[in-house]
Structure 1
Amino acid sequence: MYAALTRQAILDAAAKLFVSQGFDGTSVDDLAHESQLSKGAVYHHFQDKKQIFEEVYRVAAEGVITSVVQATIQPDLIEPWDRANAAVRAAIQTYAAQPDMRSLLRQVVGVLGEERTRALDGEVAMPLIRGLLEELNALGQLQPVDIPITALMVFRLLSESSLAIALSGDPGEQARRVEVSVLTLLSGLRA
């Protein structure tokens, strides 16, 4: 239990510092100081600062997915397309509402590289996207498309949408514009 608490203290400190100071502006000494641990304790739990950032980003991305899942299980959403649209709206609005997530999103490719970022985002988001598409397909509400390819394309569309929100000076307004575009594009998949 102590190890889990120590690890969480490091991640909490890292989330705060990576947002406020950026990855490059944060040292392992800063992480140790902020978490009230020794530098050795930080290295005991993580190989390096990049691994810490990856875990902070993963936790934040999983938080977005949690918001999306909660939006899709509302009792008033009976129709499958309503759930799919609610999922898209929730993802977009979560990025617009969370400045910390937007900060991490602006940094992630520079820290982890594009390939690792895509893989990590895919691990977190693809099961949900694919599941929604498979549900729509099983109910005959999806155009005849290849599900794995379509899931990948929807994933990339949502990834680019979240980045457009993160890079905007007005995330709320950008989210409104992105939502209209994404929902319009996805409506073409409807049977």
Structure 2
Amino acid sequence: MSEVKGGSRRDMYAALTRTAILDAARKLFVERGFDTTSVDDIARESQLSKGAVYHHFQDKQQVFAEVYLEAERIVMLEVAKAAAAPDLSPWDRAEAAAQQAISCYAADPDTRALLRQATSVLGSERTRELDATVAMPLIEGMLAELARVGELRPVNTDVAAQLVFRLLAEASMTVALAEHPEQLTEDVELVTFTMLRGLRAQPKS
């Protein structure tokens, strides 16, 4: 029994250490940027040794990938909440989710800062892979529901999911790169919704 308890304590300590590293790294990546933040900086900010950082992460790029992925998960949680709003039609839920995905970047400067750096740090393919990990299940589920209730045109839903994902990723990046993101959000939403509505089935006469 004591071994189990010891293992649990070790696991808890490891989880707390990992969280401290990621919290410190997020702060530094946002404030200083990836290029001017070193592993030594992350260790000092987290009040841990450099060895502790390397025990949990292969290198600084892996630390950034984890920080970025967690930021994207938080965005997707907000998107999922918007999509679960009661008393909305499936199509209105889809638009609410898309709107939330865009507005999250307009409202959160830290998440914008991470998104702006992601492609240069991780490469476009790896960034897209991480984004897809958190976003695609929701997009695929919503398109499947739209198809089920007859609100989606008869299209290949796998292709539609890929293209909707890319559209929303570009919309988010457009907001993240804007000098005044909150001012641009309305225009980005208008264009995004206009394009998405091309997938909507025409009402039966």
- TM-score, normalization by structure 2: 0.91
- 1:67-78 alignment to 2 at 5 Å? 67-77=78-88
State the 4+ residue runs in structure 1 displaced beyond 6 angstroms: none
Q: Of 37, 42, 52, which residue of structure 2 is paired with 1:31?
A: 42
- Once residues 174 and 113 of structure 2 are traced to their aligned partners in structure 1, the CA distance between those partners, rounded to angstroms, is 12
- Once residues 129 and 37 of structure 2 are traced to their aligned partners in structure 1, the CA distance between those partners, rounded to angstroms, is 25
2:103 corresponding residue in structure 1: 93
Task: Give the aligned residue type for 1:65.
Answer: M
- Once residues 56 and 14 of structure 2 are traced to their aligned partners in structure 1, the CA distance between those partners, rounded to angstroms, is 8
2:5 corresponding residue in structure 1: none
Q: CA deviation at 1:74?
A: 1.6
Matched residues, percent identical?
61
- What are the Cα deviations for residues 37-84 of structure 1, in whole angstroms up to 9, with x where unaligned? 00000000100000000000000000110000011112232x101100
Secondary structure, in 3 states, of the residue corresponding to 2:199? Answer: coil
- TM-score, normalization by structure 1: 0.98
Q: State whether structure 2 residue 101 is matched by structure 1 residue 83.
A: no
- 1:22-171 alignment to 2 at 5 Å? 22-77=33-88, 79-171=89-181
The root-mean-square deviation of aligned C-alpha atoms, in Å, is 0.6
Task: Give the aligned residue type for 1:5.
Answer: L
- Once residues 161 and 74 of structure 1 are traced to their aligned partners in structure 2, the CA distance between those partners, rounded to angstroms, is 22
Give the gaps of 5 or more residues in structure 2. Answer: 1-11
Give the gaps of 5 or more residues in structure 1. Answer: none
- Once residues 87 and 111 of structure 2 are traced to their aligned partners in structure 1, the CA distance between those partners, rounded to angstroms, is 29
- Once residues 134 and 83 of structure 1 are traced to their aligned partners in structure 2, the CA distance between those partners, rounded to angstroms, is 13
2:18 corresponding residue in structure 1: 7
- Once residues 200 and 41 of structure 2 are traced to their aligned partners in structure 1, the CA distance between those partners, rounded to angstroms, is 50
Task: Give the aligned residue type for 1:154.
Answer: V
Q: CA deviation at 1:124?
A: 1.0
Total equivalences in the alignment: 190
Q: Of 160, 176, 180, which residue of structure 1 is paired with 2:186?
A: 176
Which of the pair has more CA radius of gyration?
2
